[in-house]
Amino acid sequence: MKMMAAAIALSATSAWAGPIGDTGQFNQTRLAGYYSGNGGEFTVYGFGSSLSNAGYGAQTRDQDPAGDPVTAPGFQTFCIEFNEFTGGDPTYFKVNSAAVEGGVSGGNPDPISKGTAWLYSQFAAGTLAGYDYTVGGAREAAALALQHAIWYLEGEGGAANAFYDAAVAAVGAGNEFADAEVGEYGVYVLNTYATADHDIAGKRQDFLYRVPDGGTTVALFGAVLAGLGALKRTYRI
């Protein structure tokens, strides 16, 4: 029974870890009508099975208005670091919960904030209030404002605005700059590199990435703990 308990605990650990440490490659671009200025929206595509767009709504996945390049399957994202840049394709990535080796401020690693995690989760789901998802000038303006709010929450410049205010209201005043828990709101970071060995000399811009957590991991962890309790009562482990 002790072996069974250990197996259950190991399953819980694996579930809690989520996609952290996953690696692969993708292509990225920016589509007309989806961005303004130097930031997002960015379109990530060509990732095969190494990533998933299951955590995205209809407004933020498979956006392929011109079909050149073919960007579906794909998803829309935003960058984290103000002073880092993207590069040519392919881009190699590693899933993390923090930015690394870059940015205007923060440590190394530099976890994303609760405010950023909440904002991106809402954007990715297609439910961010005040964000106009209609392709064109209105979406460009919304993307610029959201990018500035994310940069502000990450200590990368930017500016407080209506999206920042929404994040404060959602996570609680004073919590918006606090480090997000790993996978909080289902949001992670894609650390990107020029080479497959993730050589820091080829470090590139980091992006946000959402998986369809929605509390599933927490519920699973609770179920595992309940299972351990039942085993203890039955077998006195």
Alpha helices in the chain (DSSP H): 2-17, 114-125, 137-153, 162-171, 216-235
Check pLDDT > 70 for residue 207. yes
**One-letter identity of residue 54:** A
CA-based nearest residue to 114, from 158, 179, 164:
179
Q: Which of 79-83, 103-107, 110-114, 166-170 has the lowest mean pLDDT?
A: 103-107
User: In which residue are the tokens 């490659």 written?
Assistant: 25
Q: In the prediction, which pLDDT does 203 show?
A: 86
Q: What are phi and psi of 189, to 5 degrees?
A: -120, 140
**Identity (one letter) of the amino acid at 6?**
A
Does one domain contain both 127 and 154?
yes
Q: Residues 132, 135, 141, 147: is their CA dihedral positive or negative?
A: positive
165 phi/psi in degrees, rounded to 5: -60, -40
Asked whether residue 8 falls in the same domain as residue 36, the answer is no
Taken in order 188, 194, 199, 204, the sign of the CA dihedral is: negative
Answer yes or no: do 32 and 113 share one domain: yes
Residues 143 and 234 in one domain: no
pLDDT of 46-70, one tens digit each? 999 999 999 999 999 999 877 777 8
pLDDT of residue 21: 93
The residue segments making up the domain with residue 137 are 20-210
Q: How many domains are there within the chain?
A: 2
Q: What is the model's pLDDT at position 214?
A: 52
Rounded Cα–Cα distance for residues 191 and 12 (Å): 25
Identify the three-state secondary structure at position 185.
helix
The pTM of the full predicted model, rounded to 2 decimals, is 0.83
pLDDT band at 17 (very low <50, low <70, confident <90, very high): low
Q: Are residues 128 and 204 in the same domain?
A: yes
Pair (111, 62) in one structural domain:
yes
CB 200 within 8 A of CB 206: no
Q: How far is CA 139 from CA 6, 146, 151, in A?
A: 50, 10, 18
Q: If we measure between CA atoms, which residue out of 12, 42, 10, 38 comes closest to residue 26?
A: 42
How much is the average pLDDT of 109-123?
97
Record the tokens describing residue 68, joined without a space.
Answer: 């050149």
Residues 11 and 47 in one domain: no
Residues 12 and 49 placed together within one structural domain of the fold: no
Asked whether residue 76 falls in the same domain as residue 183, the answer is yes
Strand-pair partners of 43? 29, 76
Tell me the pairing of strands 91-96 and 98-99: unpaired
157 lies in the same domain as 106: yes
Residues 13 and 48 placed together within one structural domain of the fold? no
228 and 124 within one domain: no
